[in-house]
Amino acid sequence: MTLTTTALNAENPFFADFNTPHDVFPFDKIKTEHFKPAFEEGMKREDKEIQAIITNKQEPDFENTIVALEHSGELLGKVSSVFYNLQSAETTDTLDALSMEMSPILTEHSNNISLNEDLFKRVKAVYGKKDKLNLTVEQQTLLKKTYDGFVRSGANLSDKDKETYRKLSTELNTLTLQFGQNVLKETNQYQLVVTEQDKLSGLPADFLETAAAKAKEKGKEGWLFDLTAPSYVPFMKYADNGDLRRELWTAYNTKCIKGGEYDNRENIRKITALRLQIAQLLGYKDYAEYVLQKRMAENEQNVYHLLNELLTAYRPTALQEYADVQTFAKKNDLMSWDWSYYSEKLKDEKFNINDELLKPYFELEKVKRGVFGLATRLYGLQFRRNEKIPVYHKEVEAYEVFDENGKYLAVLYTDFHPREGKRSGAWMTDYRGQKKVDGVDFRPHISVVMNFTRPTATKPALLTYDEVNTFLHEFGHALHGMLSDVTYESLSGTNVYWDFVELPSQIMENWTSEQAFLDSFAVHYETGEKLPIEYIKRIKAADNFNVAYACLRQLSFCYLDMAWHTLKTPYTGDVLAFETEAMASTQILPRIDGTSTAAAFNHVFSGGYAAGYYSYKWAEVLDADAFSVFQKNGIFDKKTAASFRENILSKGSTEPPMTLYKRFRGQEPTIDGLLERNGIKK
């Protein structure tokens, strides 16, 4: 066994210089069997580094304690970065099993650091003399973040309570992993196979071509539809067959509540109970109070104030939107599986604009050039594909990013299409964050991952308008990562408060409907004809179509999240009944019994948005307010862009987010900009 491990370590790429462009990960050399020994070695090295800090004979100071701690665990960080990013974008049963095996071990390792009394004594000693250390603003932020991190991870607890914290956090990490794995497996398990073409009327030809190819790939006759976004969303919009729409909608909305091994209801009860126990152990009344202490919103009263303010403003319009679709459909019992179908038809009748009309102008390669070109116009960035940079899947592309003077800034990976090993949705992540060590600026390696419509045998990948919008959103996150210019990695890029992190992403969505932006890339993939001005006018006119209904849908997720995380005692009742009550104030369409949002709500129960889903609406207020500056000065105004880059994108979390925002905007944001943009307030 020793020989095998030694031999494996000798060939393990994590233990050697990468010898790759910009020191990117050598994905072509990393194998599944490399992860476990690399995790184990990473923990050993970090333990030694922590011990060196503790046994340092010198008086604790900022450099020998706080900075040394910041730089510890480099190998473990590398291994974790690759492993968990792959588990989201290109997982396997083996990776999933390893994550479950390693979760309690890694949690224990993390707890051994955060609950180490000798280490905390040194951190506390430095923090105690913070006013005498003559630190920069960024150093002050790192010191406070480090100290608070220990306290919020149980460092001030009694020995007995520390053991309780260890047990609870280990169990919580395992359950949140299990939750996400259940959602992916349940999603992959479902197939709707249709063999009679007359049941598929209304569905676009290229969509059917993709469905036929999927069926053939699975060894089935006919057309195959699944629960991934490029399959589910168009089916719900265009399929004339209401019974099939209902069947697919029901499958989507009953994920992980059917009983059996992938049922997440008990996981929800356990996850929220564990979060509550941890929060109360640390002295908070509930988990939301614990989370919001480190958010712009500060407390749950401010969150509910925003949600209630938006609900009051948008609900009357949302009810009218529902009535309009109901009247158009001539259906008194308009149901959830009817909504997208009839909404799309009404939108087409009112504005004569739809995805099938627009998709030929949104070829993925051209959209990519348009999005990259926007970054060039705003920030002077240049993107050059480098095929020598290893990637983790043949569909992934890697780009080197340079500033307007040709200086290297970042590596950007793009991964656009759904696969069985990729979770649903779209996200930005990093493989390496930006930092400066000993005068060297280590530039970031950023990735954007999406689930866009694939090319077919006869057509290139043609995106919907919403997919273009999603691309811009995730690219905004990528800019936040790529343009980071700070000293400490834990403060760099998107390592900011959750209710601030969506500002750089959501502001980019404002360009989606701007003619000057669309003119730069939107041409018909066959004829080369520019997207007609008339279409752009219709896009603008339709921008606020059913916007209030969409707002209430988002608010329903926010209220559901807050309801689970403002519990004062563990919930042991019916998860579906709890959900119905939590979302009641936002309900527009009839509630369907036996369905659930929470059971597949990865953001909240498997991701980082617990007691934080409101962040999307919070940041929407910020982005509408911030974009008004671009509207006033010109949407490509370099001076405005430079200010946004300098005050928001480059600063990470080196200063409080409201301080950074006011430096850009000159004032605190108000809700008025969002209400005006959405046509709610004239």
The neighbouring-strand residues paired with 633 are none
Distance CA 508, CA 476 (A): 6
- Two tokens at 400? 């080197």
The DSSP letter of residue 453 is: P
Distance CA 407, CA 454 (A): 34
CA–chain centroid gap for 318, Å, is 27
Q: Just list the catalytic residues.
A: 474
Residue 216 · residue 229 · CB < 8 Å? no
Burial of 601-635, coded b for 16+ CB within 10 Å and e otherwise, reads bbbbbbbebbbbbbbbbbbbbbbbbbbbbbeeeeb
The neighbouring-strand residues paired with 429 are 447
The DSSP letter of residue 361 is: G
CA dihedral 4, 7, 12, 15 (to 10 degrees): 120
Q: Would you list the DSSP string of 173-226?
A: HHHHHHHHHHHHHHHHH--EEE--GGGGTTS-HHHHHHHHHHHHHTT-SSEEE-
Please, what's the largest Cα pairwise distance for the chain? 80
434-441: long-range pairs with CB below 8 Å, 24+: 434/410, 434/481, 434/484, 434/485, 434/486, 434/489, 434/492, 434/493, 435/486, 435/487, 435/488, 435/489, 435/492, 436/486, 436/487, 437/71
CA–chain centroid gap for 247, Å, is 28
Other CB atoms within 10 A of residue 134 CB: 7
Distance CA 541, CA 538 (A): 5
- H or E element that contains 462: none
Only one residue has tokens 């490399």, namely 34
Only one residue has tokens 């209430």, namely 552
Please give the span between the terminal C-alpha atoms of the chain, in angstroms, as a whole number.
73
